[in-house]
Amino acid sequence: MKAGIYLHVPFCKSRCSYCDFATDVYRSAEAVDRYVDALVREIRNPKSEIRNPKSEIDTVYFGGGTPSLLAPSQLERIVGALHERFAVDAEIEFTLEMNPATVTAEKLRDYRSLGVNRASFGVQTFDDRALKLLARGHDARDARQTFELLRAAGFDNISFDLIAGLPGQTLEDWTRNLDEALRMKPEHLSLYLLEIHEGTPLAEQVRSGRRPAPDDELAAAMYETMLDRTAAAGLPQYEISNFARPGFEARHNSKYWRCEPVFAFGVSAHSFDGRTRRANERDTNRYVYLIERGESPVVEEIELDAEQLSAEFAFLSLRLTEGLNFKDYQTRFGIDLNRQYAQEFERLEEYGLIAIDQGVLRLTQKGMVYSNEVFSVFV
């Protein structure tokens, strides 16, 4: 089984009001250079916790933060280190997250020549008022222009991120956003319901009553619209939040849902080698400091036992519309899931959250909105 590589780039032009990711405001090319040096050292380190140095890899994903703030020369150094350390598959899926107004035609050409063949494009919404409220630092025109630049540079695999349930957003607003995204014909869509994270400015605004709290019923209606519109546009759902033209399903993210190995580098990066989960230091300065001193950036290491592995496999598989096949599961883990959870499954079926058909367990549409209810059975 080939592994995936995740690299975290923790810099953004400004901080969005809803964000709780490990990210810092971009200060200078020098600060980014120093971080890139550390990242390269972590990849090259022969003593790092990642055990199979010549593992074959078939996906690379640069996430953030805003990886499109990397200069091509910085990206080139990281890509060079990956090629030294891993056997890179010729058909690799190489994704870089990009935000509107952070790239030029020239930069995109350089990215492509370094092997980037998929753009994960952070649109979020085409509504300028909402973009301002979220402190996104770009407007809808920037998003449309950047999308044109991506196509002109030859990107034929583009994913949009959109957020539903923004404060004050109506069902009509959401539908209009979705329709605009679909008219632009991306190959892939990641559609998320807004989550309010403690400690963010948005959480404070909601608490103080300056912004309305999320409305569950409206979110469910938005989700339903999402499923109808994407299916009609030829991008069927394949995962709770993901939709794709057939053949353009995200190969990298699918590794997480299938419990396949992903080696991760950079601040706050999370690795999984098929048995052990490892998390890196979450503070950027401290991460760089540890690497520069030749110390390990890993701050948490959990070896999953057979029970944890099988439970994780169960609820991650359920995120996918293909569902969980009881027979395959029994072959892999020796557990008759249908018997072990008979009572729980009966209850969830009664609530309309799951459906069992010909030995395959799937979330219903309602189950996708309330998926945590179902997943809690396994944890």
For the bound state, the minimum distance from the C-beta of residue 247 to ligand SF4, rounded and expressed in Å, comes to 28
Q: Which is nearer to ligand SF4, 158 or 374 (CB)?
A: 158
Q: Which is nearer to ligand SF4, 12 or 143 (CB)?
A: 12
For the bound state, the minimum distance from the C-beta of residue 161 to ligand SF4, rounded and expressed in Å, comes to 9
For the bound state, the minimum distance from the C-beta of residue 13 to ligand SF4, rounded and expressed in Å, comes to 8
Residue 188's alpha-carbon distances to 93, 118, 143, 196, 293, in angstroms, are 14, 10, 16, 25, 41
Q: Identify the H or E element spanning 139.
A: none
16 touches ligand SF4 by CB under 6 A: yes
Q: Which is nearer to ligand SF4, 136 or 229 (CB)?
A: 136
150: Cα within 13 Å, side-chain hemisphere:
32
Q: Which is nearer to ligand SF4, 12 or 57 (CB)?
A: 12
* 3-class DSSP state of 354: strand
Restricted to residues 72-131, the positions that interact with ligand SF4 (CB under 6 A) are 99, 122
For the bound state, the minimum distance from the C-beta of residue 133 to ligand SF4, rounded and expressed in Å, comes to 13
Contact code string over 64-83 relative to ligand SF4, x by CB under 6 A: xxx-----------------
- 137, two tokens: 């630092």
Residue written as token pair 């280190």? 81
Q: Cβ distance 87 to 31 under 8 Å?
A: no
Restricted to residues 19-58, the positions that interact with ligand SF4 (CB under 6 A) are 19, 21, 23
Q: State the amino acid at position 241 in one-letter form.
A: S
Choose the stretch contacting ligand SF4; rule: CB under 6 A; options: 9-17, 144-152, 214-222, 238-246: 9-17
For the bound state, the minimum distance from the C-beta of residue 40 to ligand SF4, rounded and expressed in Å, comes to 22
| DSSP string across 291-324 | HHTT---EEEEEE--HHHHHHHHHHHHTTBTT-E
Size of the site for ligand SF4 (CB under 6 A): 11
For the bound state, the minimum distance from the C-beta of residue 194 to ligand SF4, rounded and expressed in Å, comes to 11
For the bound state, the minimum distance from the C-beta of residue 100 to ligand SF4, rounded and expressed in Å, comes to 10
For the bound state, the minimum distance from the C-beta of residue 26 to ligand SF4, rounded and expressed in Å, comes to 10
Closest CA relative to residue 290, chosen from 39, 20, 8? 39
- 264, two tokens: 């991760």
- Cβ contacts of residue 318 below 8 Å, gap of 6+? 324, 361, 362, 363, 371, 374, 375
Q: Which is nearer to ligand SF4, 7 or 50 (CB)?
A: 7
Q: Cβ distance 261 to 274 under 8 Å?
A: yes
Interface residue with ligand SF4, options 7, 12, 222, 374 (CB under 6 A): 12
Residue 252's alpha-carbon distances to 116, 126, 234, 282, in angstroms, are 13, 27, 21, 22
Q: Which is nearer to ligand SF4, 8 or 107 (CB)?
A: 8
For ligand SF4, the binding residues (CB under 6 A) are 12, 15-16, 19, 21, 23, 64-66, 99, 122
